[in-house]
Structure 1
Amino acid sequence: MNYSLGELVSMIGAAIGGIFWLARLEGKVKKNAEDVTRLEQRIDRERADTRDALDDLKDMMLEQNRDIKILLGRGHQVHWNDKTHPPR
């Protein structure tokens, strides 16, 4: 293996460049992994908030449904006259 000085310098430079490239790549991978983790946590928080909002909406709709049933039940007790029309 008789390499000239220029070839050795080129190989050493390529090796050092490869090491720097791998270090930068590792840093980018680590940063991207942190970003993914952060986004997953954000999605989990948003899902929980949405679930809470939907639960509140469900409770409100159930309450309105009960109120409507009460009002409809009262409608049968109203005495109708010639100016009002009973529900059909």
Structure 2
Amino acid sequence: MLHQIQELLQNAKLQQQVLTAANQAEAIKLLAIACAEKGYNFTTEGISQLLAELTFVKSNELTEEELLSVSGAMMATTNHTNPNIDWHCTAGCGG
């Protein structure tokens, strides 16, 4: 379904209509109509669920900085110039 919707949104006119829709429900209805015209059998509920899942995934993605931070790479690449952080090892790291 995602691939088909992405394909439909290549149409500049439809893309503009979706972007200027009064609300998400109207945008979903526009997408459902375009899908039906193309022969796809997607319901507004299905499109809405897809968008909700995509929004959830996008909102839970880590930024590159967050990913580096949790992986420990930030410690190796940081220049340790922040005066508000005690950069001395307190966990027996041999230093």
Structure 2 length-normalised TM: 0.32
* Structure with greater proportional helix content: 1
Indicate the structure (1 or 2) with the bigger Cα radius of gyration: 1
Calculate the TM-score normalised by the size of structure 1: 0.34
